[in-house]
Amino acid sequence: MIFNETYTLSNGVKIPKLGLGTWFIDDSVVADAVKSAVKLGYRLIDTAQAYGNEAGVGKGVLTCGVPREEIFVTSKVAAEAKTYEDAKKSIDETLEKMGLDYLDLMIIHSPQPWVEFREDKRYFEENKQVWKALEDAYEEGKLKAIGVSNFLKDDLDNILSDCKVKPMVNQILMHISNTDLDLVDYCKKNDILVEAYSPIAHGEILNQPQIKAIADKYKVSVPQLCIRYTIQMGTVSLPKTANPDHMKTNADVDFEISAEDMETLKNFEKIDNYGESSGFPVYGGKL
Active site residues: 51
- Tell me which long-range contacts 115-124 makes (C-beta under 8 A, separation of at least 24): 115/284, 115/285, 115/286, 117/79, 117/150, 117/283, 117/284, 117/286, 118/286, 122/154, 122/155, 122/158, 123/82, 124/155, 124/158
- Neighbouring CB atoms inside 10 A of 84's CB total 17
Helix (H) or strand (E) holding 287: none
Task: Tell me 269's DSSP state.
Answer: P
Helix (H) or strand (E) holding 99: none
Rounded to an integer, what distance in angstroms lies between the CA atom of residue 73 and that of residue 19? 10
Rounded to an integer, what distance in angstroms lies between the CA atom of residue 37 and that of residue 57? 11
Rounded to an integer, what distance in angstroms lies between the CA atom of residue 215 and that of residue 232? 15
